[in-house]
Amino acid sequence: MSISGKDSIHGTNPKDSINVTEANTNGDISKETDAAWNFLDGHHDAVPGETVDIAKLRRRIDFRIVPLMFLCYTLQFLDKVILNYAAVMGINKDLHLKGNDFSNIATFLFVGLLCFEIPNIYLLQVFPAAKWLGINVMLWGIAVACGAAATSYRTLLVSRVFLGMFEATIGPSLMLISSQWYTKSESAPRFSFWYLGLGLGQILGGVISYAFQHMGPDARLSGWRTMFLTLGLVTIIVGSLVIIFLPDTPMKAKWLSDHEKVALLKHVSVNKTGIENRRFRAQEILEALVDPQIYLLLLSVILLSVSSGVVTTYSSTLIRNLGYDSKEAALMNTPSGAVSIFFTLLVGYGIRQASHRWAWIIVCIIPAIIGGALMSFLPTTNQSGTLAGIYLVNAVVAPLAVFYNWTVANIAGPTKRAFAVAIISGSFSLGNIIGPQTFQARDAPNYRPAKISVMVTQAVCAVTTVLLFLYYVRQNKKRDNSSDSENEDAFMTPEAWVRMTDKENKKFRYSY
């Protein structure tokens, strides 16, 4: 997928060629203005008369920041999903897990993640998102590596809880970082691109598990322990790269000149969501608590994530129960990643070309419902049909990126947005808590109630998505969106960068 967008090249589109001398204004700067405006006001004379090719600049940004975000998201999924593969590598036997012990271990990772979302709201306002992300990537790498030393149910449970706590920042941080560098229409394919890490993690997980299962019985560490240790060390290295190379904001990017920073900030000003403002406003959280869109987003992501929790934790087990051995089950799970990647690319491209986020979500939910039906009602002797069902359920991966993009595109105000991204990420965790708990030992080996839950939750998610779409349409009509033109020059005033929520700013328009 090309992530450079569909904008014209320099000279063919007025929006792709920006004179940096246009980014100036008169008047006092309020303490409430975003850090981006403070930079603009101090650099409005940067390189007079020089123009910047936004399309070319955007490509440079893509290659600088998107790969790092992609690596982080790949590893956060891979570090979670290795428990799925460890289930067919002997972890239950080695740690004497019984009954619902394995489901509880999978669940409490997300309990730790969910609990830490609350302090994460404040910490994302205090610390730069990029640095906070890098530190937490290193810490969860340590937690994964420590999992290799687990000797019992309790010790493994503790390592997974800490993994969840440190991974709590991945969704909110990547959402906030992405929104700093791109306009709303540009950000959708970028969200999809770093979100491809989930699909790649599924593929790599199967291959890595298959490789480590070939370790001999005389090895000092068993295959699953070596897998935990290796992936933990790789994650620590990636975390250190994030700290070193990912800028905190566009204003602090050493590889951009001042006139390029001015041009970029002017370009993204149409978002009306700001870049950085670390002042905490409690009233923004109060506004968020009575905002219907947040509750619809939260409910939709919970419903979608129930299926995600099922495929993340139990797909290998379901495949093995079809009659495959542990090595075959690991490899047979890799097409799940290919399905995730396909639908993520499809949605990212579709939204960039035609918008209609809500419709693309429905496009992905339909095959997931079909997959749930195949898993639920076909006999296990029908290997091909059941496998197709397991693979199709992975279409639900793509809409999660859309809901994340919706969150940062449609919620303004730094404190409110930090609160919203934490809540939506937390709802993902809640869905993943519910998902594994639908697998109860008494339902083995078919686990039909869990399979039916996949189908039902996706159908209800389709309904909440349509309700969210109708809400945005109604809100935009109330604001008479035909009266304001969203061009860059219209927002190059201090007022455009004063911290306001989407409710306070009557010129704000919702994307759908």
Residue carrying the six token digits 């947040």: 294
Residue 309: the pLDDT is 67
3-class DSSP state of 51: strand
Q: Measuring CA to CA, how many Å separate 258 from each of 181, 200, 448, 451?
A: 15, 36, 59, 55
Which run of H or E residues covers position 206? helix 184-212
Which amino acid would we find at residue 329?
Answer: A
Residue 313: the pLDDT is 65
pLDDT at 236 over 70: yes
Does 10 reside within a domain? no
H helices within 213-281, ranges in order?
223-245, 258-268
Q: Measuring CA to CA, how many Å separate 166 from each of 107, 111, 404, 422?
A: 15, 12, 19, 13
Residue 470: the pLDDT is 94
Q: What percent of the chain has pLDDT over 90?
A: 23
CA angle, 449 then 427 then 189, to 5°: 105
Average pLDDT over residues 257-286: 78
Q: Whole domain around residue 133: which residue ranges?
A: 27-497
**Residue 512, C-beta contacts closer than 8 angstroms, at least 6 positions apart:** 355, 356, 357, 358, 406, 468, 469, 472, 473
* DSSP letter, residue 167: H
**Residue 34 to residue 39: CA distance in whole angstroms:** 9
Residue of higher predicted confidence among 133 and 310: 133
| 303-327: pLDDT as tens digits | 988 877 666 666 777 788 888 887 7
**Residue 129 to residue 98: CA distance in whole angstroms:** 40
**Residue 312 to residue 328: CA distance in whole angstroms:** 17
Does 13 reside within a domain? no
Residue 24: the pLDDT is 42
Residue of higher predicted confidence among 29 and 422: 422
Whether residue 190 contacts residue 62, with contact meaning beta carbons closer than 8 Å, is answered with yes
| 182-207: pLDDT as tens digits | 887 788 788 888 888 888 887 888 88
Does 256 reside within a domain? yes
Average pLDDT over residues 111-130: 83
pLDDT at 482 over 70: no
**Residue 79 to residue 191: CA distance in whole angstroms:** 20
Does 20 reside within a domain? no
Residue of higher predicted confidence among 307 and 96: 96
Does 115 reside within a domain? yes
Beta strands in 46-103 (DSSP E): 51-53
**Residue 97 to residue 104: CA distance in whole angstroms:** 10
Residue 4: the pLDDT is 42
The pLDDT confidence band at residue 61, using thresholds 50, 70 and 90, is: very high
Residue 44: the pLDDT is 61
CB count within 10 Å of CB 39 equals: 23
The pLDDT confidence band at residue 8, using thresholds 50, 70 and 90, is: very low
Structure tokens at 334: 């890799």
Does 65 reside within a domain? yes
Which amino acid would we find at residue 157?
Answer: L
**Residue 76 to residue 140: CA distance in whole angstroms:** 8
Which run of H or E residues covers position 432? helix 414-437
pLDDT at 1 over 50: no
Does 214 reside within a domain? yes
90-99, 222-231, 312-321 — which is least confidently predicted?
Answer: 312-321
Structure tokens at 241: 């790269």
Whether residue 165 contacts residue 82, with contact meaning beta carbons closer than 8 Å, is answered with no
Torsion of CA 44, 45, 50, 56, to 10 degrees: -40
**Residue 52 to residue 18: CA distance in whole angstroms:** 5
pLDDT at 20 over 80: no
CATH number, domain with residue 146: 1.20.1250.20
DSSP string over 385-417: HHHHHHHHHGGGHHHHHHHHHHHHHH--SHHHH
pLDDT at 144 over 90: yes
Does 366 reside within a domain? yes
**Residue 20 to residue 268: CA distance in whole angstroms:** 14
pLDDT at 11 over 50: no
**Number of independent structural domains in the chain:** 1
Residue 480: the pLDDT is 67
Average pLDDT over residues 75-80: 88
pLDDT at 69 over 90: yes
Mean confidence (pLDDT) of the chain: 80
Residue 30: the pLDDT is 47
pLDDT at 389 over 70: yes
Residue 154, classified by CB atoms within 10 Å of its CB into exposed (0-12), middle (13-18) or buried (19+), is: exposed
Average pLDDT over residues 41-60: 73
